């Protein structure tokens, strides 16, 4: 349970496990869509929201997991999301009591370390995002995959436990299909970097430039 001090800090945030419920997630997304991209395609706006969310959460958390070799359980009362006045993710409150009793995986591999984060949070959250937006889940998995690839290449830079298997393996350890696989295609974008395999839809938003890695750029 949260301490009294923790509860005061977290009271204006949303427990991440509550975001697995479309009934709780939808009002946050509605606020973002209405205040940030009014009249725009809802799928594109929620995809953009998810990119803010995944970038702000996964970059530090996956770096922490890989560098410390400990799992990161997303349980009730552990981490809270804060959004700004427009509903955009603005930060997280992390209560690190779990670090006092770190969860050590049976093996120090990317899958053993990150599977709890994927199955206990990303999987139900993406189901809720797809429910609220009516966009295909693969859109949000691709947004996550791009963040994973970024952390591996630009943050870890060969240190810690490599995240590469998360975006290269065809299957997860349990035999299920790896939905994070290949966030980028073999095609190159105009700046010479690999193009995304699945478009994030940002080109459908007003006043937002098409990203240089968009697979639709040359169409």
Query: Does 211 map to a domain?
Result: no
Query: Does 60 map to a domain?
Result: yes
Inter-residue long-range contacts of 56-59, CB under 8 Å, 24+ positions, other chains counted: 56/89, 56/91, 56/92, 57/89, 57/92, 58/144, 58/147, 58/148, 58/151, 59/147, 59/150, 59/151, 59/155
What pLDDT score does 37 carry?
96
Q: H helices within the chain, ranges in order?
A: 4-10, 22-36, 42-68, 110-117, 123-133, 137-150, 164-168
* Number of compact structural domains in the chain: 1
Residues in the chain: 219
Q: Give the chain's radius of gyration (CA, Å).
A: 17
- Count other Cβ atoms within 10 Å, centred on residue 53: 24
Range of the domain at 40: 4-204
| CA-based torsion, 88, 89, 91, 92: positive or negative | positive
Query: Does 64 map to a domain?
Result: yes
pTM assigned to the model: 0.90
Query: Does 36 map to a domain?
Result: yes
In the 8-state DSSP scheme, what is residue 181?
A: S
Written as tens digits, the pLDDT of the chain (219 aa) is 444 444 444 457 999 999 999 999 999 999 999 999 999 999 999 999 999 999 999 999 999 999 989 887 777 778 899 999 999 999 998 876 656 666 777 788 999 999 999 999 999 999 999 999 999 999 999 999 999 999 999 999 999 999 999 999 999 999 999 999 999 988 877 777 788 899 999 999 998 887 777 887 654
What pLDDT score does 7 carry?
47
Query: Does 210 map to a domain?
Result: no
Query: Does 77 map to a domain?
Result: yes
Please give the backbone phi and psi of residue 194, each rounded to the nearest 5 degrees, phi first: -60, 140
Query: Does 176 map to a domain?
Result: yes
Query: Does 9 map to a domain?
Result: yes
DSSP states of 113-151: HHHHHIIIIIHHHHHHHHHHH---HHHHHHHHHHHHHHI
What pLDDT score does 6 carry?
44
Please give the backbone phi and psi of residue 184, each rounded to the nearest 5 degrees, phi first: -115, 150
Q: ∠ CA(201), CA(206), CA(208), 5° rounding?
A: 65
């Amino acid at each position: 349970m949260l301490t009294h001090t923790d509860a005061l800090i977290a009271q204006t945030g949303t427990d991440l496990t509550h975001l697995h419920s479309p009934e709780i997630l939808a009002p946050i997304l509605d606020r973002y869509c209405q205040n940030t991209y009014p009249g725009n395609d809802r799928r594109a706006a929620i995809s953009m929201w998810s990119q803010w969310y995944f970038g702000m959460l996964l970059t530090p958390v996956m770096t922490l997991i890989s560098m410390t070799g400990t799992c990161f359980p997303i349980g009730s009362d552990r981490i809270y999301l804060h959004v700004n006045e427009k509903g955009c993710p603005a930060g997280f409150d992390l209560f690190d009591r779990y670090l006092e009793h770190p969860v050590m995986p049976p093996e120090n591999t990317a899958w053993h370390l990150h599977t709890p984060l994927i199955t206990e949070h990303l999987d139900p959250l993406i189901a809720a995002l797809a429910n609220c937006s009516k966009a295909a889940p693969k859109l949000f998995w691709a947004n996550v995959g791009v963040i994973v690839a970024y952390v591996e290449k630009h943050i870890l830079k060969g240190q810690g436990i490599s995240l590469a298997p998360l975006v290269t393996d065809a299957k997860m350890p349990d035999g299920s299909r790896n939905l994070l696989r290949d966030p980028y295609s073999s095609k190159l974008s105009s700046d010479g970097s690999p193009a995304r395999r699945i478009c994030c839809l940002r080109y459908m938003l007003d006043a937002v430039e098409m990203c240089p890695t968009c697979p639709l750029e040359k169409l």
